[in-house]
Amino acid sequence: MEERLYDLIFICRPATPEEDIDKIIATLEHTVAERAGKIDKTEKWGARKMAYRVKRHREGYYVLMVLRSTQGDMVHELERRLKVNDAVIKYMTVRLDEDIKRQKRLQQRRERKAARRPRGGARGHGHPAGGEQPAAAAQQQ
């Protein structure tokens, strides 16, 4: 099975001490390593207001992890661990590799088009999207 890319976001209770959050992250990292997965990045967004109440909390401590794996059951195991943990009030795993693939394909097509036509190329240099995507990439890293 080819490698898949996932976004794993989980939300902890806002009152959770920082060390506990680090502990949760450590256990997740351990699980990922066990299943021969890779962690592209871990991002602590910190406490932020949620759009709706979750388990009576209006705020939550967001953590984002970007993972790669060839084993689908890694996700199951991670979610199981999050479910078990009392500090975690919400989590979500999104498979992103197909979206990224599509994005790359579209980018390549645009570049090819730009290369073919000098007029189109001049347009392409403006690249308002190009400005956005590096920003997105920067956020992810």
Partner 1 sequence: MADDTQKESQSHEAHAAPEHKPARPQESHPATDAPAAGKPPEARPPDARSHESRAHEGRPHEGRPRGEGRPGEGRGGEGRGPREGGREGGKRGRRGFYRKKKVCRFCVDRVDFIDYKKPEQLMTFIQERGKIVPRRITGTCSRHQRWLAEAIKRARNIALMPFGGAR
The residues that touch partner 1, with contacts defined as CB under 8 A, are 7, 9, 11, 50-54, 60, 64, 90, 92, 94, 99-100, 102-103, 106-107, 110, 127-130, 132-133, 136, 139
CB of 36 vs partner 1, minimal distance in Å: 26
Which three-class secondary structure state does DSSP give residue 60? strand
Q: Between β-strands 88-95 and 38-54, what pairing exists: parallel, antiparallel or unpaired?
A: unpaired
In the complex with partner 1, the residue whose CB is nearer, 19 or 126, is 126
Q: Between β-strands 38-54 and 4-12, what pairing exists: parallel, antiparallel or unpaired?
A: unpaired
CB of 52 vs partner 1, minimal distance in Å: 4
In the complex with partner 1, the residue whose CB is nearer, 44 or 90, is 90
Count how many Cα atoms sit within 13 Å of the Cα of residue 41 in the half-sphere of its side chain: 10
